[in-house]
Amino acid sequence: MKKNILKTQLVTLFILTLFSFVSFYFGNDLPDNYFTITSNNSGNILSYYFFSLVKFGSYFSGPWILIPFFVFALCHTFIYDRREYMVDILNFFPLLFFAGSISFFLFQDALGIGLQYIFKNSFTSLWLGIYSGVAFGLFLLGTFRGGFKESIIKVFNFTKAAPKKVVQAKQALIAPFEKKKPVAQIEHDNSLRKRMDSILKDDNKDKDETKKEGSLFASLNKIKPQNILKSKTVVEEKTDNIEQDDEDIEEAVIKPQIMRPSFDESNTVVRTAPDVEEEDPSEDVDSNTPREPQVKKILVTAPLNRMADTSSDNQYFNIVDTATEATIEKVSNEPDKAYFEQIITLLESKLTEFKIEGEIVNVLKGPVVDTFEFRPGAGVKVSKIAGLADDLSLALYGAPIRVVPAMMGKDTVGVEVPRNPRDIIYLDEVLSSKEFQNAKYSLPIAMGKNAFGESFVIDLATCPHMLVAGATGAGKSVFINSLLVSLLVKKSPKKMKLILIDPKQLEMALYAKLPHLLMPVVTDAKTASIALLWACQEMDRRYGILAEFGVRNISGFNEKLKRATPEMLAKIHHHYEDTTAEDYELPYIVIIVDEFADLVLTKAGKEIENNIARIAAKARAAGIHLVLATQRPSVDVITGVIKSNFPTRVAFRVSSRTDSSTILDKIGAERLLGKGDMLYKHGINTQRVHSSYVDEVEIEALTQKLEALESGFDEKAMEFLENGGEVETDEYSYGSHITPASSSSSGDSLYDEAVKVVMESRSASASMLQRRLRIGYNRAANLIEELEKRGVVGPAQGAKPRRVLVDGSSPTL
């Protein structure tokens, strides 16, 4: 309907243009027979009426109508006919009013007599000009839409900068004609400058330095703990105005400069200050010769966060702040309009060959792919378009395109075409975005950017587990690095702990000394099985704590812990060993397993698979989350039990449709571009995302900063690994192994003190005795075995502390 109305408007303008020119050239010869008919000859009745109609039309038109006719014809051909906006039918009216009013001001003879009468008697000149401008603005807005807004901004910026450019042009024209000063005058000016510098230097040195330092620390304190510190360089441009006789002042202009960052090992700030060189008075100086700005670096050894809190969290974020993140000067590689028009033409012509009616109505531009929205005609099946993916790829000279059968919230089919050249998405872009900075997530992850160029951030706590698959070189390892850096930026060791399992022994070596680690980076399958078993035992322990505390998940527990009473803490005290009230908070635990296929195919593969299935099924409320990564997403590696407990899946480019179906339950991952291009699936929704890139040098610099924190592995976890993962014993079998106390006596002098410590804490472990009695681990383990033989404590229960079986009144201790 919209196209028919536009064609009607165009035809109407054409007819009016013909009438106007016929009337304009033959107006004096045409009779005005509109009100009377002077002939009785019926054969001339039609000619009389026709000439009367032409004469009547000329009263309200004129040659000016040619201008809106040509403008509307061009807009209809190249703009209106290519899109589906019903509002385009209204652009006809402001165009006519604007052309008519402008013609009235400039060429009144081009208007008909009737139209002149209307303008003269209905509007004043002022209001007619205002209405004309409004009509012109409405026409541009309705025709160009977003492009009109950008044009207005460019015109405003140009107008704002015009006076400055005029002054610069004037100076450039005058400069060649200015006379040079004599050498004597130059020597006088230089000596005067030296004397002024020496006088002002002593008076203002302290004041300036204090002011500079104060502004530096003030700007640093404004930065949020999660933000990455941006480096700045102070550049001083020396400007000399030789024509001033008595005053010659150097102006310091401070300009921010985007630099590739470097991670400084010490908590120092590199600032730059002007270095004024002494000029030789005897040297002939040209007043018009431009001089380059000179910069001198000064090391300020003051700490960056001297007003920071001394708590562990603030200390952690202070260190993160000092690790300057990479700042890249982004260069836009967006293709021109002809690039997109060529692709639109190729796609539409190829679809027309297969008798698929429709048109491309919009282009969604992204950093890596551009999505062309195709609206199919009536009776066209979407499955037919999806089946032509290979043919469309051939039309675009082999570009690996992907067809999105149904775009969310739209009635169009998406055709994703890779951009050439593609943009590189750096991690610091996403970390500094509003989506990441303002995220209220428990475990935020900067995934990268979606297909439309928007920053994409998710919460691992709501995933709650993630399955990552991709072929070699697809970007899986870079994505794991981005995931880890995202978590390190937002979460301190008090809020989050890590278990890293890396069979290749290379990918996670950079994170070996992080304070977040519960245990060293695991590199063999047997130790990985024990580590996952410890995670299962920790999950059970946490569920016991949550149940006795009356909460449903870890976030509710940590919130309730802030207002807990001593009676409430007493209920869960037996789950902790030698713990103060401040250490009851439960941190999130993130387990990242790389090369999962290699672990499953070992002798310990069945135990690993069972432990992972158990954690994935139950560990969400306990705050334990899994990230599994594998190169080979086959059915023997990713079983149905694992897939059912991993609702969040990330697929990078894979080698076959079968692998894509295994990881995503649908095809499509085999058509990805590689190098970070991925499909993200959460639940039933799938979208295309481009992973961000972080360099290993930047990761190493960040981890080296974090090594300065006091760190240590979890003692219970380390004890569990050293013991090879003790199996949990049935609590009803306690006492079956007890040896009477009178049958033997302990030869250790600290046995009585060990009994006393165990009775006071009502729990026992070798690590606790090691801390309380200040002894070595072997001696503490022997004391625990002796206490178990005498029936003072029960057998080991995995990660749980041993139970004390007797009270203080027992005579056989």
pLDDT tens, residue by residue, 346-399: 999 999 999 999 999 999 988 899 999 999 988 899 989 989 989 999 999 888
Q: Binning pLDDT at 50, 70 and 90, where does residue 486 land?
A: very high
pLDDT attached to residue 26? 63
Please provide the CATH number assigned to the domain covering 728-803. 1.10.10.10
Provide φ and ψ at 467, rounded to 5°.
-115, 125
At residue 593, the 3 state secondary structure works out as strand
Taking residue 805's Cβ as centre, other Cβ atoms within 10 Å add up to 17
Q: CB of 627 within 8 A of CB of 466?
A: yes
Q: CB of 480 within 8 A of CB of 398?
A: no
Rounded to whole angstroms, the Cα distance separating 771 from 38 reads 125
Which of 7-11, 13-17, 218-222 has the lowest average pLDDT?
Answer: 218-222
Q: Binning pLDDT at 50, 70 and 90, where does residue 589 land?
A: very high
Which segments within 684-766 are labelled E, that is strand?
Answer: 685-691, 763-764
Q: Binning pLDDT at 50, 70 and 90, where does residue 542 land?
A: very high
What is the average pLDDT score of the chain? 75
Q: Which residues contact 58 (CB under 8 A, 6 or more apart)?
A: 19, 20, 23, 24, 27, 112
Rounded to whole angstroms, the Cα distance separating 537 from 526 reads 17
Is pLDDT at 344 greater than 50 in this prediction?
A: yes
Place of tokens 């001394």: 310
Show the CA angle centred on residue 555, arms to residues 462 and 528, nearest 5°: 65
pLDDT attached to residue 499? 95
Q: Binning pLDDT at 50, 70 and 90, where does residue 747 land?
A: low
Q: Binning pLDDT at 50, 70 and 90, where does residue 24 land?
A: low
Do the strands 402-404 and 413-418 form a parallel or antiparallel pair, or are they unpaired? antiparallel
pLDDT attached to residue 330? 56
pLDDT attached to residue 767? 80
Q: CB of 410 within 8 A of CB of 428?
A: no
337-418 has which fold?
A: Threonyl-tRNA Synthetase; Chain A, domain 2 (3.30.980)
Can the peptide bond before residue 464 be classed as cis, meaning omega within 30 degrees of 0?
Answer: yes
427-705 has which fold?
A: Rossmann fold (3.40.50)
Burial letters for 254-288: b for 16+ Cβ neighbours within 10 Å, e otherwise? Answer: eeeeeeebebbeebebebbebeeeeeeeeeebeee
Is pLDDT at 771 greater than 70 in this prediction?
A: yes
Backbone angle region of 92, left / alpha / beta, with phi > 0 → left and psi within -120 to 50 → alpha: alpha
Q: Which residues contact 349 (CB under 8 A, 6 or more apart)?
A: 395
- Which is higher by pLDDT, 761 or 360? 360
Show the CA angle centred on residue 696, arms to residues 695 and 701, nearest 5°: 105
Q: Is the dihedral of CA 553, 554, 555, 557 positive or negative?
A: positive
H/E run at residue 606: helix 605-618
Show the CA angle centred on residue 492, arms to residues 491 and 494, nearest 5°: 120
Q: CB of 477 within 8 A of CB of 483?
A: no
pLDDT tens, residue by residue, 70-88: 788 888 787 887 777 777 7
Q: What percent of the chain stands above pLDDT 90?
A: 22
Segment 754-776 shows an average pLDDT of 84
Q: Which residues contact 704 (CB under 8 A, 6 or more apart)?
A: 263, 265
pLDDT tens, residue by residue, 494-512: 899 999 999 988 888 899 8
Q: What percent of the chain stands above pLDDT 70?
A: 70
pLDDT tens, residue by residue, 602-647: 888 889 999 999 999 999 999 999 999 998 888 888 888 888 889 9
Burial letters for 203-236: b for 16+ Cβ neighbours within 10 Å, e otherwise? Answer: eeeeeeeeeeeeebbeebeeeebbbbbbbbebbb
pLDDT attached to residue 329? 53
Q: Which residues contact 693 (CB under 8 A, 6 or more apart)?
A: 424, 425, 426, 427, 478, 482, 676
Pair of tokens at residue 742: 């009178």
H/E run at residue 649: strand 648-651
Residue type, 515: P
pLDDT attached to residue 398? 87
pLDDT tens, residue by residue, 267-318: 333 333 334 333 443 344 343 433 333 333 333 333 333 333 345 666 676 6
pLDDT attached to residue 726? 55
Is pLDDT at 404 greater than 60 in this prediction?
A: yes
pLDDT attached to residue 288? 40
Q: Which residues contact 182 (CB under 8 A, 6 or more apart)?
A: none
pLDDT attached to residue 349? 92
pLDDT attached to residue 149? 64
Segment 14-25 shows an average pLDDT of 72
Domain ranges within the chain, ordered by starting residue: 2-144, 183-313, 337-418, 427-705, 728-803
At residue 678, the 3 state secondary structure works out as strand
pLDDT tens, residue by residue, 152-208: 777 777 777 778 777 777 777 776 655 444 544 545 455 545 554 454 444 444 444
H/E run at residue 644: helix 640-644
Do the strands 455-459 and 358-364 form a parallel or antiparallel pair, or are they unpaired? unpaired
Taking residue 342's Cβ as centre, other Cβ atoms within 10 Å add up to 12
Q: Binning pLDDT at 50, 70 and 90, where does residue 808 land?
A: low
pLDDT attached to residue 25? 64
Rounded to whole angstroms, the Cα distance separating 190 from 168 reads 26
Is pLDDT at 403 greater than 50 in this prediction?
A: yes
Q: If we measure between CA atoms, which residue out of 714, 799, 225, 311 comes closest to residue 497?
A: 714
Q: CB of 402 within 8 A of CB of 361?
A: no
pLDDT attached to residue 4? 79
H/E run at residue 761: helix 751-761
Q: If we measure between CA atoms, which residue out of 785, 781, 787, 786 comes closest to residue 769?
A: 781
Q: If we measure between CA atoms, which residue out of 143, 136, 21 comes closest to residue 76?
A: 143
